[in-house]
Chain A
Amino acid sequence: MSRIAFLNARLVDPERAQVTTGGLLVEEGRIRALMPAGEPAPGDAQVIDCGLKYIAPGIVDIGVKVCEPGERHKESYRSAGLAAAAGGVTTMITRPDTTPAIDSPETLEFVTRRANEASPVRVLPMAALTKGRDGREMTEIGFLMDAGAVAFTDCDRVVSDTRVFSRALTYARSLGALVIAHPQDPGLSRGASATSGKFASLRGLPAVSVMAERMGLDRDIALVEMTGARYHADQITCARALPPLERARNNGLDISAGTSIHHLTLNALDVADYRTFFKLKPPLRDEQDRLAIAGAVNSGLIDVISSMHTPQDEESKRLPFEEAASGAVALETLLPAAMRLHHAGLIDLPVLWRAMSLNPARRMGLESGRLAKNAPADLVLFDPDAPFLMDRATLRSKSRNTPFDGARMQGRVLGTWVAGTQVFKRDR
């Protein structure tokens, strides 16, 4: 296999928390060497002059929804994979909240086969924690792990029966399986489509207090303490949830936490006149919460930033706000949106890549997420400053429900490589 030398680049290294100028030598799908600035490429290598643009480890995105099986018209492995490649996402950790849910080894095998055939980027599937995501009986966690499930989650459905959840956690612990949960009190949040506060009250939307997230997290922490399970909170989105998270971490529990790029870059006021593309689950929070969450990503208390890519077709969004479906697509907008945090001086590039690549890879037990010798050559080349006007018609996803439609953004992916093979190149 040929060798590729990336020269004249700025290397974003999340492990050493630095950006340096230099190059990379890639061979047989792995990073063979880091090259100091000015070092010439070996004679037989294909040379890519990066023109002082940035190279970072490819993004590892936990919680991508691909709508196979069931709703392929919303998103297929092909369309999601192309969107991921164009967004610098080299590994999609996919969600099981499909129709039917991915809750049996047979369904998981179908999904894995489809993913391998159709997606240009790596796909690692998660499986449901309970059958049908109904919160009553646990799935065949062992068989599902054998079939390749990297984590177990009922996605945005909370397992409200604490006995069922504690048994599932205990069983998962015995197999070393990672459980991902959606911290939310189902009673308080029932029927809500906005975060309670002045804005939701003015708009007359049924709303939920951020306290519901804190309560859900508190409950889960107690159960993790009881069972010793490996636990990841999918989205922490409010300041109120941070102190219990910090205490749990200090107490040595195996708890990690993620947040979504939308909760880091948008707030409740963006809903404006009932714009349903901004309807998310949990709903967008106020500005203080957004800043607190950005701070927690900086401090490392929140480990992971995800796209929470959730395709919805036009019909499910063109409805009154309360009736409209939740979720937004984000595989292609994750990196440009993250650049907003960089340009605003809220989170720097190495920390962004720690949260978007290194930490999620580590949590999933993957080798990727690093710019180091022998790490997989899953790479993204990007220009953090390139300005553009977001036009949702250009998205590669089958569903184009992005809240950034029409927004001015800065930061574009120029090229994406998976195991040393280029899977995306931006045409000028």
Chain B
Amino acid sequence: MTFPHRHLLGIEALRPEEITVLLDLADTYAALNRQPDKHADALAGLTQINMFFENSTRTQASFEIAGKRLGADVMNMAMQASSVKKGETLIDTALTLNAMHPDLLVVRHPHSGAVDLLAQKVNCAVLNAGDGRHEHPTQALLDALTIRRAKGRLHRLSVAICGDIAHSRVARSNIMLLGKMENRIRLIGPPTLMPAGISEFGVEVFEDMKEGLQDVDVVMMLRLQKERMDGGFIPSEREYYHRYGLDEEKLAFAKPDAIVMHPGPMNRGVEIDGTLADDINRSVIQDQVEMGVAVRMAAMDLLARNLRLTRTEAV
């Protein structure tokens, strides 16, 4: 078995060669997705439930399309509007769903570790679509695939991750993945948006953006998570844009062929200049969205293979 996991809860549990296996498969799905007939049947007969305890349009749509293209029966549950509001606990919800025999459960939750907890209580494969500030593995994998396709490799690159690191699960998963694949990671942001103990992560930390962007191959911008702020992490949006917003001037410090990434949705004029984001010569933001579907197809395919295998063994 090349991908020996029951769930995809985070990058932390993956080995470098397993990441490569997943990305290789995702490449084939990226090719499929560009065909007029985009259908495959890897998930035929399986039920996929998307449970989003936190608002999401893009990630949920991406998982839904990925599931449908592979032939799964996909159901979306908007958990914010449902029984959670009536006081049902996460575990009760999980057990209720479990009784409906889903095969793939895609979960996003506002609390770190909530998806791990849920995974302990169900019989199906669980994919973490983002838990609190903890992990967002499919985002890191789609970023990795985008980088690999743009740069031709996923090692020995200098990658800058800029912005609200402290509140970002995207940053955590990316730091872990890029570190495992032996890249040089530079974190850029104001100290109020850096998590504690960051110096022990095996990364370089910069408060000055120009210094941090010096000769990097990849510039990864993060969304300034306004909804997560208790207030008072930065003085104002305009000062933030001045010091940490990505524009042509700051990008000039990176390598001439450096690519610009953003997990979306973007705050144009807060963390990134609108024109730059749309520059098809530098920005790979649309490729990220495209690779998102491919990576999620690959992840669900691999987990479904394991699921079928364990079920055959059980019989």
**Shortest beta-carbon distance, B185 to chain A, in Å?**
14
How many angstroms from the CA of A255 to the CA of B107 in the assembled complex?
Answer: 50
Return chain A residues, CB-CB under 8 Å to B133: 204-206
- Of B67-75, B196-204, B290-298, B304-312, the one with at least 4 CB within 8 A of chain A: B196-204
For residue A202, CB closer than 8 A to chain B, the reply is: yes
Q: Is the CB of A273 within 8 A of B195?
A: no
For residue A315, CB closer than 8 A to chain B, the reply is: yes
For residue A197, CB closer than 8 A to chain B, the reply is: yes
Q: Is the CB of B197 within 8 A of A199?
A: yes
- Of A170-178, A320-328, A393-401, the one with at least 4 CB within 8 A of chain B: A320-328
The chain A residue with its CB closest to the CB of B120 is: A273
Q: Is the CB of B113 within 8 A of A209?
A: no
For residue A207, CB closer than 8 A to chain B, the reply is: yes
What interface size band does chain B fall in?
20 to 34
For residue B149, CB closer than 8 A to chain A, the reply is: no
Given contacts A203-B134, A204-B134, contact A209 B196 (CB under 8 A): yes
Q: Which of A176-213 contact B (CB under 8 A)?
A: 191, 196-207, 209
Given contacts A204-B169, A319-B90, contact A196 B197 (CB under 8 A): yes
Q: Mark A272-291, 1 if CB is under 8 A from B, else 0.
A: 01100000000000000000
How many angstroms from the CA of A274 to the CA of B128 in the assembled complex?
Answer: 15
How many angstroms from the CA of A323 to the CA of B90 in the assembled complex?
Answer: 11
Q: Is the CB of A205 within 8 A of B91?
A: no
Given contacts A315-B89, A318-B89, contact A205 B201 (CB under 8 A): no
Q: Which of B153-178 contact A (CB under 8 A)?
A: 166, 169, 172
How many angstroms from the CA of A198 to the CA of B166 in the assembled complex?
Answer: 12
Given contacts A198-B201, A204-B135, A204-B169, contact A320 B196 (CB under 8 A): no
Q: Is the CB of A201 within 8 A of B117?
A: no
Q: Is the CB of B172 within 8 A of A322?
A: no
Q: Is the CB of A320 within 8 A of B112?
A: yes
Given contacts A318-B91, A319-B89, contact A201 B195 (CB under 8 A): yes
Q: Is the CB of B113 within 8 A of A273?
A: yes
Other-chain contact of B112, A205, A315, A319 (Cβ < 8 Å): A205
Other-chain contact of A320, B117, B172, B195 (Cβ < 8 Å): B117
Return chain B residues, CB-CB under 8 Å to A196: 196-197
Q: Is the CB of B132 within 8 A of A204?
A: yes
Return chain A residues, CB-CB under 8 Å to B116: 273-274
For residue B64, CB closer than 8 A to chain A, the reply is: no
What interface size band does chain A fall in?
20 to 34
For residue B15, CB closer than 8 A to chain A, the reply is: no
**Shortest beta-carbon distance, A286 to chain B, in Å?**
9
Given contacts A203-B112, A274-B116, A320-B112, contact A197 B197 (CB under 8 A): yes
Other-chain contact of B196, A207, A315, A321 (Cβ < 8 Å): A207
**Shortest beta-carbon distance, B83 to chain A, in Å?**
16
Q: Is the CB of A274 within 8 A of B196?
A: no
Return chain A residues, CB-CB under 8 Å to B197: 196-201
Other-chain contact of B111, A201, A315, A318, A322 (Cβ < 8 Å): A322
The chain B residue with its CB closest to the CB of A273 is: B116
Other-chain contact of A202, B109, B132, B172 (Cβ < 8 Å): B172
How many angstroms from the CA of A206 to the CA of B132 in the assembled complex?
Answer: 10
Return chain B residues, CB-CB under 8 Å to A205: 112-113, 132-133
The chain A residue with its CB closest to the CB of B91 is: A318
How many angstroms from the CA of A321 to the CA of B196 in the assembled complex?
Answer: 19
Q: Is the CB of B90 within 8 A of A204?
A: no
Q: Mark B130-142, 1 if CB is under 8 A from A, else 0.
A: 0111110000000
| Across the A-B interface, the 6 shortest Cβ-Cβ residue pairs | A204-B133, A274-B113, A198-B197, A204-B134, A201-B195, A196-B196
- What are 19 A-B pairs with beta-carbon distances under 8 A? A198-B197, A198-B200, A199-B197, A201-B196, A201-B198, A203-B113, A204-B113, A204-B169, A205-B112, A205-B132, A206-B133, A273-B113, A274-B116, A320-B112, A320-B114, A320-B117, A321-B112, A321-B113, A322-B111
User: Which A residues are within 8 Å of any B CB, using their own CB?
Assistant: 191, 196-207, 209, 273-274, 315, 318-323
12 more contacts with CB within 8 A, not counting A201-B166, A273-B116, A320-B113, are A198-B196, A199-B197, A200-B196, A202-B12, A204-B132, A274-B112, A274-B117, A319-B89, A319-B90, A319-B117, A320-B109, A321-B112
